[in-house]
Amino acid sequence: MLVQHCMTRDPAVVSPHEPLTVAYEKMTAGSFRHLPVVHEGVLVGILTDRDLYRRGVNEQAQVKMAMTQEPVTVSLVTPVERAALLMVHHRISGLPVLKDGSLVGIITERDLIGAAAGRIFGLKQKNKSALLKSVSIKEVMKKRVVTAAPDTPIKDIAHLMADKKIGCVPVVSAGMVVGLVTTTDILRYVESLA
């Protein structure tokens, strides 16, 4: 299967000269973890949620100050398996899709999982649900979980999430889960400081 069969078409984009607050608003409104950065129709970088909470969000900071330059990309004819390997190798969750140097889409882990399930099992949504009922959480869960305490500084949690490349951290007190900090929570907190 090729990337063009499972990518997100017409993805939201941001200009390198826009304030980070604009990028933040687009990311939170669409629940995106990354935005391609496009200047005059050409992909010049990618901005991730991790870039935002590492840099902070304020009116003076521009996208170009926080974006990842020269992002890993794929083309419309890249095999999905290759895209998945690139994501694993580079520890990223999305790849801009280019055609003749221009952005035409983005492919994410979610896109790959959805395409793989449908393709591998040849299942419609109703049958996917039945299949998922036959698999236990124990079979697919991660056993080593990164956690934080309620009094852990947000800055430390943000660094932990960036370093470990994880999207959420359970908050544990006295052996009990008392909350969950997500990438979106960090972004909203950073935005409130601006």
Same domain, 7 and 72: yes
Q: Of 99, 114, 129, which residue constitutes the final position of a domain?
A: 114
Same domain, 58 and 109: yes
- Domain assignment present for residue 125? The answer is no
Q: What is the CATH number of the domain that holds 187?
A: 3.10.580.10
pLDDT of residue 52: 75
- Name residues whose C-beta falls within 8 Å of residue 18's C-beta, 6 or more positions apart in sequence: 62, 63
Same domain, 21 and 96: yes
pLDDT of residue 116: 66
- Model pLDDT for residues 18-71, shown as the tens digit of each residue: 888 888 888 888 878 888 898 888 888 888 877 776 666 555 665 565 566 778
Same domain, 14 and 90: yes
- Model pLDDT for residues 115-124, shown as the tens digit of each residue: 666 666 665 6
- Domain assignment present for residue 131? The answer is no
How many domains does the chain divide into? 2
Mean local confidence (pLDDT), 130-149: 65
Residue 137 has pLDDT above 60, yes or no: no
Beta bridge partners of 176: 173
